[in-house]
Structure 1
């Protein structure tokens, strides 16, 4: 059986943008730490740097279910946090103001990813409550789920067990 080549999303070509604004993002997160550590639909993920071994914190949109936190990488396999997780899956997550240790696992099976976004739809790129309220409206849910199933196909999904 031939190995399949991963298809990167178009956003992976734009990954230089978040890398370029990393200091600005870090300053924003530090200035608004209390808000982001309690914000619904967001998590502060702390990974271990794959080269330095230092803690690396990233603000990510998520959906929570029981003891699981689901994350999708907008920038595909190019995201630094994804690369860090592949080297060391031990993480810390800050959600609802609490820091807990967890273990990250990549979800690569398309059928499992589409099932998860069908059960737990979220708008991974919209931090605004109004956008979430409209997108998660029962009348809009089928459109959101259809979009997410297509969107998640070329992106890695991670489940963090806490």
Structure 2
């Protein structure tokens, strides 16, 4: 069921994410494509705490943006229309379900329901 769920969720996301990227209030994570070297922007949910931004990936290391982070951890996060450079870190030892309790409720619910392999990601923002 997990593989079927993964395929269904990614099918929907491929159609919705281009629209979400156009919304000026949508939080985005920009990674560098591991093959193309081009910027890749993914709509995400998460929360900034000081100079750190926390999010949880629905599909863990199967997510394309997570694979991009593994190849190059330098990222940018768009918060309230403003870009912030930073360095992303996968945090497999963190409890992603507990982490989601401190993140925006609507996105956290969607991640828990649709996710197949939750993984916490911490972005240390530069200044």
Q: Going by fraction, where is strand more abundant, 1 or 2?
A: 2
Is 2:23 the partner of 1:60?
no
Say which one has the larger Rg. 1
Residues 95-123 of structure 1 show CA distances to partners (whole Å, capped at 9, x for unaligned) of: 022101100011111xx436972883543
Q: Going by fraction, where is helix more abundant, 1 or 2?
A: 1
Aligned residues: 119
In the alignment, the residues of structure 2 paired with residue 121 and residue 24 of structure 1 have an alpha-carbon distance, to the nearest angstrom, of 21
Q: CA RMSD in A?
A: 2.9
Gaps of 5+ in 1: 1-8, 37-42, 128-147
Is 2:98 the partner of 1:161?
no
Residues 54-81 of structure 1 show CA distances to partners (whole Å, capped at 9, x for unaligned) of: 1100001102111111110112221111
- Does the aligned pair in 1 maintain the 2:29–2:41 contact within 8 Å? yes
In the alignment, the residues of structure 2 paired with residue 25 and residue 84 of structure 1 have an alpha-carbon distance, to the nearest angstrom, of 17
SS class of match (2:95): helix
Q: TM-score, normalised by structure 1?
A: 0.61
Gaps of 5+ in 2: none
